[in-house]
Structure 1
Amino acid sequence: MITTSVRYARWNGADRPFDVVETGVPRTPGPGEALVRVDLATVCGSDVHTVSGARPSPVPGVLGHEQVGTVVAVGEPAPRLLDGTPVETGARVVWSVTASCGDCDRCARDLPQKCRRLTKYGHQELRPERPLTGGFASHCLLVPGTTIVEVPEEIPDVVAAPASCATATVAAALRAARDLRGARVLITGAGMLGVTAVAMAAHQGAHVVAVDPHQDRRDRALRFGAAEATEKPTGEFDVAIELSGAHQAVTTCLDTLAVGGIAVLAGSVFPGPAIPVEPELLVRGLHTITGVHNYRPDDLQTAVDFLAAHHRDHPFAELVHGRYGLDQLDAAFTAARAGEAARQAVTP
């Protein structure tokens, strides 16, 4: 059997250093699989929460779920891109955080992102015989049920990598918000997701108000198309999108909804304090509160299409700093925790 030499960063538990492991994997993937060389990955906020112990994840594991890479081998039959064409070697691609079975009751209800037999890249327990399950590795093995989207060459790696999580999650949140043309939209949090949401909502014709406690982030939101950026919003909003994970921000979103308003909650991805909801205001205001977690296949295509069309309109590339190797992953997380940039780049 011909093997490919690969390396991956093994996560050993909260606040413990990563170990870089070298091993070999079969050169020919299985049916419907693709072996992808990871060209660049980014450290997502949820990775930081996992490493700090705030977010549970199997130990040991291979973290990382925002990345862009090049296909080096495909199985027989080959997997297909979202548009239906076969995946070919040499293709530059991003892939979904999740892989779904397509057969369970949730998949049948068009909820593949919450599949009963979900595989989630960067969140799986490490199996030494199949270790390539996350982006912090030289390669990733894409399994059947993964959404794969080809990336145009004009999108830089640092812009393309976050599409697999941040940009696609924002696409899902805006889809849940429905028609934004002419809407007054509140976005809480001006990190990577927040400024991406600002840009995408503004390009859909919304009047966007960004809220963040940090002046530098508010200034950044203005560069991404926010009409206003403030610490405390005033007035009512047709749509409120919560992307910070702060419980007070959730309350702000619910308290500022106009009649018929929609609150989309996507930032609260680990346990926190309960938020009181006044049922009468919900009923009389005809309010809708919806949650977004993971995303559907089309959202990844929407993310790539948006970046292809608009990445030059806003400083997306400036959101990503650093060029850390796998053996420097601990330093990358130190920089990420320090908030030196919205994302830190890892080049396996």
Structure 2
Amino acid sequence: MEGKRIDTDIKGEVLKGQLALFNGPGQAFELREFRVRPLQPGELLVKNVYTTICGSDLHTFCGLRKEPSPTVLGHEIVGEVIALHPTHAGFDLCGQQIQQGDRITWTVFSSNPQSTNSLRGIPQKGDDLFKYGHVLVEEPEVFHGGLGTYCIIKANTGIIKLPENIPLSIAATLNCSVSTVAGALRMAGDIKDKHVLITGMGHLGITCAAMCREAGAEWIGAADIDPRRLDEALGFGADEVFNMNGDNSKLLSVLQERTNGKGIDVVFDMSGSPDAMEFGIKSLGIGGFAILIGAVFNTRSLLIDPERVIRNLLTIRGLHNYNFADFKYAFDFMKCNWEKYPFSTVVEKEFSLEQVEEAFEYAIVQKPLRVGIKL
């Protein structure tokens, strides 16, 4: 079935919207107007209402990671449903009916649900992978990121309908940071009564602390080199914070004391720092788990003692993005806990789409947990 053209009003004018095009590191964003193409089977159209700038967006902006350009950045998005293709099932992952006017967020990816990796439970690595906010802008495929008026949601994208009481600034982070942390906890197994260390207290780290607290961790340590981030971690469930900007050999002794000589049960690295990852693995006790998430950009290789990994029965696992069950877990967690922890303070400043250049510069200089783009 062919897509049906979507009109802006009763006069039948073709729908158009703006994009803040990213043309590469060191180049200014370019605000341009484009036509919205007709929807294809299984798709829906949303009007973006809020986007938060993720750390990976900043890495792309600074040239630490490469994306095709021009592109439209932004994948932590909340949108309002404008239209559904007649073939769309009309329900979200939780079984809630989706209608025009509903506020939704969606997975950062879509992929073939019948592909090998999808059937293995890792649809984020499935065939025909499409990632919002990471794709070349090439007409007519232009509206596929958060820094624009609209976004076309492709078939096989996981969608969740949002309750009205969750603030936009909190809901926007669900489909990246919060869901990735949910996946990290899944990979770590049962957290209840465990001693947990988190290295890197950005948005991933503070979310991980809160999620581990709700999962029943006995003790949560938070480590970073930024005193402000460490102060923030205490409000998100961390029992104790550690500044890693110094001699970390002493810190290993402290962690041994905190765990009665047994060592850390689970370490989550959210920083991407090789030093932090190596330290975390050294801190593990027998049967410990290291879950590595932060290094989504090019960095040096890790120095790991293989004999210690073998003799101590350590497990080292990496996670990139998440699956649909993680997305639902993240939603359930935030729905129940966004008021219990200070998630409402995460976005320190908001900007308009026309101020996108200023927003990125602010994020780089001030290093807030998030900045928001209110559309």
Higher alpha-carbon deviation: 322-331 or 79-88: 79-88
User: 1:46-125 counterparts in 2 under 5 A?
Assistant: 46-79=56-89, 80-125=91-136
Compute the displacement of 1:87 (Å). 2.7
Aligned AA for 1:244? S
> Aligned partners of 2:26, 2:274: CA distance in 1, in Å?
25
Compute the displacement of 1:246 (Å). 0.9
> Aligned partners of 1:223, 1:105: CA distance in 2, in Å?
41
Which secondary structure state, in structure 2, belongs to the residue aligned with residue 153 of structure 1?
Answer: coil
Aligned AA for 1:50? T
Do residues 244 (structure 1) and 275 (structure 2) align? no
> Aligned partners of 2:264, 2:366: CA distance in 1, in Å?
29
> Aligned partners of 1:75, 1:90: CA distance in 2, in Å?
15
Do residues 198 (structure 1) and 209 (structure 2) align? yes
Do residues 301 (structure 1) and 328 (structure 2) align? yes
User: 1:326-337 counterparts in 2 under 5 A?
Assistant: 326-337=353-364
Contact 1:30–1:76 at 8 Å: present in 2 too? no
Question: What's 2:243 paired with?
Answer: 231
Which secondary structure state, in structure 2, belongs to the residue aligned with residue 210 of structure 1?
Answer: strand
Contact 2:34–2:142 at 8 Å: present in 1 too? no
Contact 1:155–1:308 at 8 Å: present in 2 too? yes
> Aligned partners of 2:44, 2:220: CA distance in 1, in Å?
40
Higher alpha-carbon deviation: 288-297 or 86-95: 86-95
Do residues 19 (structure 1) and 46 (structure 2) align? no
Which secondary structure state, in structure 1, belongs to the residue aligned with residue 271 of structure 2?
Answer: coil
Compute the displacement of 1:293 (Å). 0.1
Contact 2:73–2:133 at 8 Å: present in 1 too? yes
User: 1:125-274 counterparts in 2 under 5 A?
Assistant: 125-206=136-217, 207-232=219-244, 233=251, 234-235=255-256, 236-274=263-301
TM-score, normalising length: structure 2 = 0.90
> Aligned partners of 1:63, 1:164: CA distance in 2, in Å?
14
Sequence identity, in percent?
36
Compute the displacement of 1:301 (Å). 1.3
Contact 1:78–1:86 at 8 Å: present in 2 too? no
Aligned AA for 1:148? I
Compute the displacement of 1:317 (Å). 1.3
Structure 2 unaligned residues grouped into runs of 5+: 8-13, 245-250, 257-262
Q: Give the one of 309, 317, 324 matched to 1:290.
A: 317
Higher alpha-carbon deviation: 1-10 or 139-148: 1-10
Aligned AA for 1:181? K
> Aligned partners of 2:306, 2:156: CA distance in 1, in Å?
40
Compute the displacement of 1:222 (Å). 0.4
Compute the displacement of 1:30 (Å). 1.9
Per-residue CA deviations over 1:274-303 (Å, capped at 9, x if unaligned) read 101211111111110000001001111111
Contact 1:78–1:87 at 8 Å: present in 2 too? no
Which secondary structure state, in structure 1, belongs to the residue aligned with residue 80 of structure 2?
Answer: strand
Which secondary structure state, in structure 2, belongs to the residue aligned with residue 275 of structure 1?
Answer: coil
Aligned AA for 1:104? S
The CA RMSD measured in Å over matched residues stands at 1.3
Which secondary structure state, in structure 1, belongs to the residue aligned with residue 141 of structure 2?
Answer: coil
Structure 1 unaligned residues grouped into runs of 5+: none
Do residues 279 (structure 1) and 306 (structure 2) align? yes
> Aligned partners of 1:15, 1:333: CA distance in 2, in Å?
12
Q: Give the one of 336, 339, 350 matched to 1:323.
A: 350
Compute the displacement of 1:85 (Å). 4.5
Rg (Cα) greater in structure: 2
Large movers: runs of 4+ above 3 Å: none
